[in-house]
Structure 1
């Protein structure tokens, strides 16, 4: 989980602009480099490194002697880099997986490069010989990328929006910052002055696509047909391969473990594969919650290291700044030596795990909404997960969003993927029923709303937070919310409370999020499952 940053066409002193790159220093605590591009005015790169592979020669921008006119700054992991290296006979100068991007581009251009990558990535590729700049991002946006591009040729690119806020150039003191679209690459012309102009934006991957020409261990020829036992076998095989390829690391591996199905499957598969590979250390797993919370009790059955937090309310401003499970990541960084952290992100979207899917009018509409959620992950859950880990220099890995696993799962008939017998993710659970990977009480444990899962059975975090917010936001403020916040006005006191904190840190930037995440097919004013009428009763309906 590194931090990348680049500017092209800036009229300001680059040493001053470099200060913007320091806003993402938390993403790479191991090293930092700031480098101007030789022969081009006002072009530069910044890189904050979290050293996962090739700790000696892995600094960026990456340049190789064979083609010194290519500059690469990238954040991510390319899981099929060794297969591609062997397939095309590439001679690497480093051990960094991302170097394959340079070789692929030199061999076949940007379109072939982007389509052949199996992994998660965000990159800036500069070709000074042909005066081109290329931006690219993985299918689900697991690795973040934001950009500023103005009409007068100024381009700023960064792993986080905060690294582009308040940049100065001749056109504006506050250019618009936008997320770069997942599954796309962009081609830009580079002028001698360093100014750029966009040529084309191309979609190269959708959630149903697989990377081209990627070699896969054990799963080259999946059994065909729709026999249920074959389907379940394929799901197990593809999931195992998704976890296995993500073991690529020279640093210690850990796992977030809530006690629910998704993270438990990831952790159990990690344990199996690490044991088979004879790792010389034990897998560390981590959970957060109050002493008698359901998630914590379930996680402890799996031997998890737990973090009790009874004072989370006072931390909401700090948490919101980085988003997500900030506190447990902080604990991991300070108290352990685990750096590469696995999690179950993406499973709910892929396998229709949210409780509101019980209310889908038809299997076909459930499928459509599942795919919508996957397309929008980069604005919601994977963005939160990125901030969770990157805030403390950790690297997140998400096997449920593996290309081949997701494309296979989405190819299955709609009727197979919907909740069954009142149980969400029924197909996923059933696939591992006889695998001995998880005990049945964990495999078939009903989904908990996050607010209930992490806090006391006596009083939910949802209730604790509502009590706190009621003291901060009165009814009159909420009534006039649309006047103060005309774009995406908050509908609840809790939403108003968060919006105030966001505006404090990022004033006038609310349009970064096009809409709120909300359940479908039901009347809901809050995204939390805790507020839904059918919560905990779905199995009876």
Structure 2
């Protein structure tokens, strides 16, 4: 696990200053505290910061192929590198190291671009082929590892693991993209199709770029796509056994490391399943850690402690309280771009806790997206059945007006909160699912914008790319399309970004076994009744894990890693909420109606409405603008 950066000249081969590449890498030192290196040649420079996980002393980077024909900088882990190495050795390849980096070099020289299909892992890498004088940039299937890129005024392409690596380049412009602000206000993060800065791109998950000195920059090309278009046939017992086989393979393959290894344990189904399978495969007690909160309704540490006791793990737990938000500027700095998933704070804290004992930690991320574990997915599956029964005009002209009249009752028991359901049924599936996922709907965002900013974004709405993702999904049902959008839009932009930045900030490698592409592809072909049944998501996963976990862990209501930010913004952080509208950084942009923002804060503090998520978004946006030096 590492940080990479570099510069490549398209259309020419101008010299690259190694000190410039070095500065880009220096700001990524947190990603790789164990070593560094820079290599340059006419028209290209590659830089690397190393966190040693496998072959601790023998795999420095940038790494040259044995014959000197290629050079690579690599961030990630290839879990099947030993099998690939044996296959390549049979074809005559020779290796000088025991790690996975040299295997990628040999795989490129043997199979070219097709080597990507053979890699099972998380990765972002830049490989320069000295013979063809071309640069090969690639990102893993789900976007676990990030890669930012920017075309600069001198004709070069700069790239780095984090935006801060590009910010270290003096030619990078710092002008905000107004469409990214619209995206951020909708989702709470800047999705992978956009960047907060104009001119900066993110290489999409499952894509590569092949660039040459003697040709214009080539666009990214897709090399892998998840499909929901097939369906498994078979008895539930057989599907259950196959799922468990894939899960065991995924977990055990990610337990390979030459450094101490452990796991995050929340006490939920996913992390508990990972810990159970780790304990099954390990001779030593598994090291586990968890984070709780000072608000009882959001605290899961008792469930985590129970699972830890069940499997005899070496467990540690700590709590997060509102007074720890004094480090909000540090939190904003981890992400560079504005990022408002409030669970980033406890995720960062649990990474800090884990790093005290281990260098690698396995997580349960990915199962909700892959196996329909989110409440919104279960609701959406039910709504789709209703949509199939009721004609569109009836839904639009009867349920829509009824939903508009129905009171918004955040305080009421969940069965009485019918407003959102009625409005969702009145819309088409893509609109409804986008609205269920958004932090703030289009009407609410529009009410916050100044007139000038509304003109700048024109007719663009953040939901449009999300809905297009759903419509173009290789899928057979509405639930398929919703899960596909979660896995390709939400997962890389929110969940994986959160885990990558918070873990790398403390020099910890996080691994996501439940995102093994073979496991996810298997889950995508499960019949819907094996994903959602009896009002429960992740049906087959829960059935498969009943041999390991008690029912009150498997079937208790999903709690999620939810920070009690609503309580905090009404209590110890109320002053922070009131100060948002008057913030100098936000005011200088001219993007927002300050009266509308003040009204949000007062409504929330009084308890009349829960505006915590959008207030937190504005607070994190303010801190990011200060860090990026953006004034509008």
Q: TM-score, length-normalised on structure 2?
A: 0.69
Instruction: State the Cα distance separating 1:449 from its structure 2 match.
Output: 4.0
Q: Note if contact 1:469-1:497 (Cα within 8 Å) is conserved in structure 2.
A: no
- Measured in 1, the distance between the counterparts of 2:543 and 2:630 equals 47
Is 1:64 aligned to 2:170, yes or no?
A: no
Instruction: State the Cα distance separating 1:462 from its structure 2 match.
Output: 3.2
Match of 2:178 in 1: none
- Measured in 1, the distance between the counterparts of 2:318 and 2:573 equals 24
Q: Against the structure 1 CA distance between its residues 321 and 168, is the aligned structure 2 distance closer, same or farther, given a 3 Å change threshold?
A: closer
SS in 2 for 1:330: helix
- Bigger relative contact order (CA 8 A; separation at least 6): 2
Q: How do 1:130-169 residues align onto structure 2 when only pairs under 5 Å count?
A: 130-150=132-152, 153-169=155-171
Match of 1:22 in 2: 26
- Measured in 2, the distance between the counterparts of 1:482 and 1:367 equals 43
Is 1:94 aligned to 2:88, yes or no?
A: no
Instruction: State the Cα distance separating 1:448 from its structure 2 match.
Output: 0.5
Is 1:73 aligned to 2:66, yes or no?
A: no
Q: Note if contact 2:21-2:38 (Cα within 8 Å) is conserved in structure 1.
A: no
Match of 2:590 in 1: 484
340-349 or 351-360, which deviates more: 351-360
Q: TM-score, length-normalised on structure 1?
A: 0.80
Instruction: State the Cα distance separating 1:79 from its structure 2 match.
Output: 1.6
Q: Against the structure 1 CA distance between its residues 284 and 462, is the aligned structure 2 distance closer, same or farther, given a 3 Å change threshold?
A: farther
Deviations 1:373-411 (A, max 9, x none): 100222110010001210011111101110100000001
Match of 1:233 in 2: 241
Q: How do 1:298-337 residues align onto structure 2 when only pairs under 5 Å count?
A: 298-303=303-308, 304-310=315-321, 311-322=323-334, 324=344, 325-333=347-355, 335-336=356-357
Is 1:421 aligned to 2:534, yes or no?
A: yes
Instruction: State the Cα distance separating 1:482 from its structure 2 match.
Output: 12
Q: Note if contact 1:340-1:397 (Cα within 8 Å) is conserved in structure 2.
A: yes
Q: Against the structure 1 CA distance between its residues 227 and 508, is the aligned structure 2 distance closer, same or farther, given a 3 Å change threshold?
A: farther
- Measured in 2, the distance between the counterparts of 1:483 and 1:52 equals 43
Match of 1:339 in 2: 359
Q: How do 1:131-530 residues align onto structure 2 when only pairs under 5 Å count?
A: 131-150=133-152, 153-169=155-171, 176-191=199-214, 197-208=216-227, 225-275=233-283, 281-290=284-293, 294-303=299-308, 304-310=315-321, 311-322=323-334, 324=344, 325-333=347-355, 335-336=356-357, 338-360=358-380, 361-362=383-384, 364-376=477-489, 377-418=491-532, 420-433=533-546, 435=547, 437-451=548-562, 460-474=564-578, 477=581, 484-485=590-591, 492-508=614-630
Instruction: State the Cα distance separating 1:345 from its structure 2 match.
Output: 1.0
- Measured in 2, the distance between the counterparts of 1:495 and 1:45 equals 35
Q: Which consecutive unaligned segments of at least 5 residues does structure 1 have?
A: 210-223, 276-280, 455-459, 511-541
- Measured in 2, the distance between the counterparts of 1:329 and 1:51 equals 17
Q: Note if contact 1:319-1:327 (Cα within 8 Å) is conserved in structure 2.
A: no
- Measured in 1, the distance between the counterparts of 2:70 and 2:151 equals 22
- Measured in 2, the distance between the counterparts of 1:16 and 1:152 equals 14
SS in 1 for 2:125: strand
Q: Against the structure 1 CA distance between its residues 476 and 177, is the aligned structure 2 distance closer, same or farther, given a 3 Å change threshold?
A: closer
Match of 1:520 in 2: none
Deviations 1:477-525 (A, max 9, x none): 29998973379x9983222112111212224499xxxxxxxxxxxxxxx
Instruction: State the Cα distance separating 1:465 from its structure 2 match.
Output: 3.5
Q: Against the structure 1 CA distance between its residues 97 and 483, is the aligned structure 2 distance closer, same or farther, given a 3 Å change threshold?
A: closer
Q: Which consecutive unaligned segments of at least 5 residues does structure 2 have?
A: 176-197, 309-314, 336-343, 386-476, 598-610
Instruction: State the Cα distance separating 1:50 from its structure 2 match.
Output: 0.7
Q: Against the structure 1 CA distance between its residues 473 and 157, is the aligned structure 2 distance closer, same or farther, given a 3 Å change threshold?
A: same
Q: Against the structure 1 CA distance between its residues 341 and 449, is the aligned structure 2 distance closer, same or farther, given a 3 Å change threshold?
A: closer
Deviations 1:307-353 (A, max 9, x none): 123333323332232252112222332x32x1111001111111222
More helix by share: 2
Q: Which has the larger radius of gyration?
A: 2
Q: Note if contact 1:208-1:406 (Cα within 8 Å) is conserved in structure 2.
A: no
441-450 or 139-148, which deviates more: 441-450
SS in 1 for 2:141: coil
Instruction: State the Cα distance separating 1:450 from its structure 2 match.
Output: 2.7
- Measured in 2, the distance between the counterparts of 1:320 and 1:151 equals 28
- Measured in 2, the distance between the counterparts of 1:57 and 1:496 equals 46
Q: Note if contact 1:140-1:207 (Cα within 8 Å) is conserved in structure 2.
A: no
